[in-house]
Structure 1
Amino acid sequence: MGVNQTQSSDATPTQLADMLAGNLDVLFCGINPALSAAHAGHHFSNRSNRFWRSLHLAGFTPHQIRPEDDHTILHHGCGLTAAVERPTVKASDLALHEFRAGADGLERKVQRYHPRFLAFLGKPAFAAIFNKRSVAWGRQQVRFGGAEVWVLPNPSGLNRAFTLDALVSAYRELQIACQAP
């Protein structure tokens, strides 16, 4: 599955293609693509982002996937999407209405592809979509589009509240849940 970018008239990438397939174990849902990822045409392409390393160390993949090979995540029962498609330099550049506007499309994707788990990477998208002020990490007591929902720490290098070990530990909890029948 290749990555498709839509180009605007000023040649700024306006979309980063999802990595989706039917019946995935986990659909990882980022807040939105980083502008650098949209320019590169690959998810989590910034060297400071710890997604690929965390995914591997938590046991989702047998080796660390390189951003330019992001499509291979599908071979491991995982997919990628974003709550908001618009790339930005920082997730804080997004408005609340953008999360809510993206909720229906996200739910349709989940219903169509039937992942077992939907894992939000960071609290902002989950909080906005579910209208929650306080969000706990880990398994949530709601389903979305038929999938069980988790909230995991955002792997961005800007997220200094979580060490790599803390990220791996949080992601490993979901990986263990994936192994249960």
Structure 2
Amino acid sequence: MEHVTPAAGLPDILAPGLQVVFCGLNPGVDAAAAGHHFLGRGNRFWPVLHLAGFTPHQVAPQDDRSVLGFGLGLTAAVGRPTRRADQVEEDEFAQAAAGLLHKLAWAQPRWIAFLGKAAYAAMTGKRRLDWGEQPERFGGARVWILPNPSGLNRGYSKERLVDAYAELRRAQMASS
């Protein structure tokens, strides 16, 4: 059964026993209004997810619920929609930790992939984080930090994003 929690108009897409839950920082205004994850014009999440090997075809944002069939889930660290992720305050991430831990306790995914360092840093109090797998678990799940696929993240080309996401895919496949 799917777990739907309204997050300011953007429902979580979770189910028990998923392989990977991708945790965005917070929904964009357009995505929240439409009720679909990673809807933004410049967001590279869907093509990167496919090119990294998580899905056999590129999923359209309007078909975001189909990721459950691939063992994947979607959530946001903070439910409040904004135009830019940097409009979310650090204390909002810290306050959202209990809710995210509750979701993970219910879904029990193998991995949680934070899209960007900000949410995980604020939720755990860690200031220095590397990309990739983290040594600790969060809510029982293995933790991986990926670059944010937002088009505003100019530090990562689409190719570099695909490489980073494919590294998680290889680790996920090796641990299955």
8 A contact 1:3–1:16 mirrored in 2: no
Match in the other structure for 1:111: 105
Match in the other structure for 1:179: 173
Among candidates 74, 78, 88, match of residue 84 of structure 1:
78
The Cα of 1:96 is off from its aligned counterpart by 1.4
Match in the other structure for 2:68: 74
Among candidates 35, 56, 60, match of residue 62 of structure 1:
56
Mark the CA change 1:151 to 1:39 in structure 2 (over 3 Å): closer, same or farther.
Answer: same
How large is the Cα RMSD of the aligned pairs? 1.5
The Cα of 1:5 is off from its aligned counterpart by 5.7
Could you list the structure 1 runs, at least 4 aligned residues long, displaced by more than 6 angstroms after superposition.
Answer: none
Question: 1: distance between equivalents of 2:6 and 2:108?
Answer: 24
Question: 2: distance between equivalents of 1:93 and 1:108?
Answer: 24
Question: 2: distance between equivalents of 1:65 and 1:112?
Answer: 25
8 A contact 2:3–2:14 mirrored in 1: no
8 A contact 1:2–1:71 mirrored in 2: no
Match in the other structure for 1:10: none
Match in the other structure for 1:51: 45
Match in the other structure for 2:36: 42
Question: 2: distance between equivalents of 1:155 and 1:172?
Answer: 13
The Cα of 1:36 is off from its aligned counterpart by 1.1
Question: 2: distance between equivalents of 1:96 and 1:2?
Answer: 26
Match in the other structure for 2:149: 155
The Cα of 1:156 is off from its aligned counterpart by 0.1
TM-score by length of 1: 0.92
1:142-173 per-residue CA deviation (whole Å, 9 max, x = no partner) reads 10111000000000000000000100000001
SS at match of 2:27: coil
Gap runs ≥5 in structure 1: 7-13
SS at match of 1:180: helix
8 A contact 2:116–2:146 mirrored in 1: yes
Mark the CA change 1:36 to 1:3 in structure 2 (over 3 Å): closer, same or farther.
Answer: farther
8 A contact 1:5–1:41 mirrored in 2: no
Question: 1: distance between equivalents of 2:3 and 2:106?
Answer: 19
8 A contact 1:36–1:45 mirrored in 2: yes
Mark the CA change 1:4 to 1:147 in structure 2 (over 3 Å): closer, same or farther.
Answer: closer
The Cα of 1:4 is off from its aligned counterpart by 7.6
The Cα of 1:46 is off from its aligned counterpart by 1.1
